[in-house]
C-alpha cells in the first residue's frame, strides 16, 4: 500500500514599500514584521544598508513558511540591487546576500550658455535632469563661482554625466565633470574622483590639482562614511527600547584608526560600561567632538591634538552589537547636534597615490569628452563603440565608465 506524503504548503510572500510619513519600523509592520523581529533584521543589515537614507518607495518583501515563520526578507532602495537575508535552517542564523541586475554605464554630455533671465539650475532642470543631480552640479560650482554676484548672460557651462542603465532606463547618475566660464565668474573645472574603497570619504569632486571643493570643514573621523545608525530617536539595537541617539554610528573594522575631526584639547579619555573606551575633544570654537566604543585610546586628558591626528582605534567596547564608531558632536553652547549638519571633508588636498589616481581619472574623463566632441559630427557615438576595435589609449580612457555590474 502506498502512503501519501504530506502536502507541503506554499510559502507566503508579502510585499510593501515605504510610504510618506513612515519610518522603517512602521513600514516593516505593514508586511507583518513586529519590532522584535525587525530589530534582528536591521542589526543583520546595518553593515550593508544605510537605513539613514530611507526614502519613500523603498521596497520590502517578507517570505513566510506554512507555519507563518519569517524565513526570508529583502530590501531594495533602487531598481538594480536587492539586499536579502535568508534564515539558515541548520544554524538558525540569517545569511546575507546581494542580488544585482545587469547594468551598464553610458556617458552623456550637456553644454550650453546662460540666457538673459535664466540660471544654471533652471537650464539643467529644463533638460530633464533629476533635481538631486542638478543640485550636485550647482553645489560643486558654488565652491568656486558666486552665481548671485557674477553670473551673466552668455556664461558657458559643460557637464559630463555617467548614467547607469538597466533596460535602457537611467537608474543612477554620476557627475564626472563640471565646467563654468564667464567674464565675471572666470573659468573653473571640477573632476569627480572615485576612490578604490566603497563609501570612501575621499570620493568627491576636486580641482585638477587635487584641491577639495570646500573652503573649510571638519575632517572625517574614518576613511569611509557608512552610517549604521543615524542621529535622533531610534530603537536601541541592544535593549530594543526607544531612545534618543545623540550621534551617528559609523561602520568600521576593529583596529581601524580613528582621527580627530579638528584640532583641540582632549577633555575626556576614559571608559564606562555603556560607551566603552571614549574620548572627547574641545575645539577652538568651543564645540566638542565625541568618539565612543574605541578598542584603544591613544591620547590622554590635557593633550593637544592636530586635525586628523590618530586618537585611537575602532572597537566594540561597552554596550554594542559589534565594532563601530559612535561619533557625537556638541555645539559651543553644549547642545547635542547631528554631526552630519557639520560640513566635513576627507582632506583639503589629495596627496600621494590618491593624487596620482585622480590625475589618471582626469585623463580618462578628458578622453571621454574628446570622444563625445568627435561624435557631434559623426553618425556614431564614439564613446559607446565598446565592441569595435579601437586604439588602446581610447579604450583605456573610457573603460572605467563602461564597467558592467
Per-residue pLDDT, 239: 84
Arithmetic mean of pLDDT, 97-118: 93
222 near 236, Cβ under 8 Å? Answer: no
Residues paired with 189 in a beta bridge: 179
Whole-angstrom distance, CA of residue 368 vs CA of residue 399: 10
Arithmetic mean of pLDDT, 51-64: 93
Tell me: pLDDT of 398 over 50: no
Whole-angstrom distance, CA of residue 351 vs CA of residue 218: 18
Q: Calculate the average pLDDT of the chain.
A: 88
The answer to whether the Cα torsion of 307, 309, 312, 315 is positive or negative is positive
Per-residue pLDDT, 3: 54
Per-residue pLDDT, 390: 37
190: three-class secondary structure by DSSP = strand
Q: H or E segment at 373? A: helix 352-375
184 near 145, Cβ under 8 Å? Answer: no
Residues 6+ apart with CB under 8 A from 314: 222, 252, 253, 254, 255, 256, 257, 258, 293, 294, 295, 323, 324, 325
Arithmetic mean of pLDDT, 177-188: 95
- Find cell 556617458 and name the residue: 107
Per-residue pLDDT, 328: 97
H helices present in 30-157, as ranges: 35-45, 120-126, 131-142, 147-150
Per-residue pLDDT, 343: 82
What single DSSP character describes residue 10? P
Tens of pLDDT, residue by residue over 188-234, are 999 999 999 888 999 999 999 999 987 567 899 999 899 999 999 88
Per-residue pLDDT, 387: 38
Tell me: pLDDT of 242 over 70: yes
Read off the pLDDT band of 16 (50, 70, 90): very high
233 near 247, Cβ under 8 Å? Answer: no
**Which domains are present in the chain?**
12-100 (3.10.450.350), 102-216+347-405 (3.10.450.350), 227-342 (2.70.70.10)
Per-residue pLDDT, 402: 43
Please tell me which residue, 62 or 3, carries the higher pLDDT value. 62
User: What are the distances in angstroms from CA 186 to CA 68, 117, 384, 388?
Assistant: 65, 20, 33, 39
Residues 6+ apart with CB under 8 A from 311: 258, 259, 260, 266, 279, 281, 291, 297, 298, 299, 305
Find the range with the poorest average confidence among 25-34, 156-165, 209-218, 237-246: 209-218
pTM for the full predicted model: 0.76
Arithmetic mean of pLDDT, 62-71: 94
Whole-angstrom distance, CA of residue 185 vs CA of residue 130: 25
Residues 6+ apart with CB under 8 A from 2: none
Find the range with the poorest average confidence among 134-148, 157-171, 389-403: 389-403
Tens of pLDDT, residue by residue over 286-330, are 999 999 999 999 999 999 999 999 999 999 999 999 999 999 999
Per-residue pLDDT, 216: 62
Residues 6+ apart with CB under 8 A from 232: 244, 245, 338
Residues 6+ apart with CB under 8 A from 283: 262, 263, 264, 289
Whole-angstrom distance, CA of residue 186 vs CA of residue 209: 17
Tell me: pLDDT of 382 over 70: no
Arithmetic mean of pLDDT, 10-15: 92
62: nearest Cα among 71, 49, 53: 71
Per-residue pLDDT, 309: 95
24: nearest Cα among 55, 61, 48, 46: 55
Amino acid at each position: 500500500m502506498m502512503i501519501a506524503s504530506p502536502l507541503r504548503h506554499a510559502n507566503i510572500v508579502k510585499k510593501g514599500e515605504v510610504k510618506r510619513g513612515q519610518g522603517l519600523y512602521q513600514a516593516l509592520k505593514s508586511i507583518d514584521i513586529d519590532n522584535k523581529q525587525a530589530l534582528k533584521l536591521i542589526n543583520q543589515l546595518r553593515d550593508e544598508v544605510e537605513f539613514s537614507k530611507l526614502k519613500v518607495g523603498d521596497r520590502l518583501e517578507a517570505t513566510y513558511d506554512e507555519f507563518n515563520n519569517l524565513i526570508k526578507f529583502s530590501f531594495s532602495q533602487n531598481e538594480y540591487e536587492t539586499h536579502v537575508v535568508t534564515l539558515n535552517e541548520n544554524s538558525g542564523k540569517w545569511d546575507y546576500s546581494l542580488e544585482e541586475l545587469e547594468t551598464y554605464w553610458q556617458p552623456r554630455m550637456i553644454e550650453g550658455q546662460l540666457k538673459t533671465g535664466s540660471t544654471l539650475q533652471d537650464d539643467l532642470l529644463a533638460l530633464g535632469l533629476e533635481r538631486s543631480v542638478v543640485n550636485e552640479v550647482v553645489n560643486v560650482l558654488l565652491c568656486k563661482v558666486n552665481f548671485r554676484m557674477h553670473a551673466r548672460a552668455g556664461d558657458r557651462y559643460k557637464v559630463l554625466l555617467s548614467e547607469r542603465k538597466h533596460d535602457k532606463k537611467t537608474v543612477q547618475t554620476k557627475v564626472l565633470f563640471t565646467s563654468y566660464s564667464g567674464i565675471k565668474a572666470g573659468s573653473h573645472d571640477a573632476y569627480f574622483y572615485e576612490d578604490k574603497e566603497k563609501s570612501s570619504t575621499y570620493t568627491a569632486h576636486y580641482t585638477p590639482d587635487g584641491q577639495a571643493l570646500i573652503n573649510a570643514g571638519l575632517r572625517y573621523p574614518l576613511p569611509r562614511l557608512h552610517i549604521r545608525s543615524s542621529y535622533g530617536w531610534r530603537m536601541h539595537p541592544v535593549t530594543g527600547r526607544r531612545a534618543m541617539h545623540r550621534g551617528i554610528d559609523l561602520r568600521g573594522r576593529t583596529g581601524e584608526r580613528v582621527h580627530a575631526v579638528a584640532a583641540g584639547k582632549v577633555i575626556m579619555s576614559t571608559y564606562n560600561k555603556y560607551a566603552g573606551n571614549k574620548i572627547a575633544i574641545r575645539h577652538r570654537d568651543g564645540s566638542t567632538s565625541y568618539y565612543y566604543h574605541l578598542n584603544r585610546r591613544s591620547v590622554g586628558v590635557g593633550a593637544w591634538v592636530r586635525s586628523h591626528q590618530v586618537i585611537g582605534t575602532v572597537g566594540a567596547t561597552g554596550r554594542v552589537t559589534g565594532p563601530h564608531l559612535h561619533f557625537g558632536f556638541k555645539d559651543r553652547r553644549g547642545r547635542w547636534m547631528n554631526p552630519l549638519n557639520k560640513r566635513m571633508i576627507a582632506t583639503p588636498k589629495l596627496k600621494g597615490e590618491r593624487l596620482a589616481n585622480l590625475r589618471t581619472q582626469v585623463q580618462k574623463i578628458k578622453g571621454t569628452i574628446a570622444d563625445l566632441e568627435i561624435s557631434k559630427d559623426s553618425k556614431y557615438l564614439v564613446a559607446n563603440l565598446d565592441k569595435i576595435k579601437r586604439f588602446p589609449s581610447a579604450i583605456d580612457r573610457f573603460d572605467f565608465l563602461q564597467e558592467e555590474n
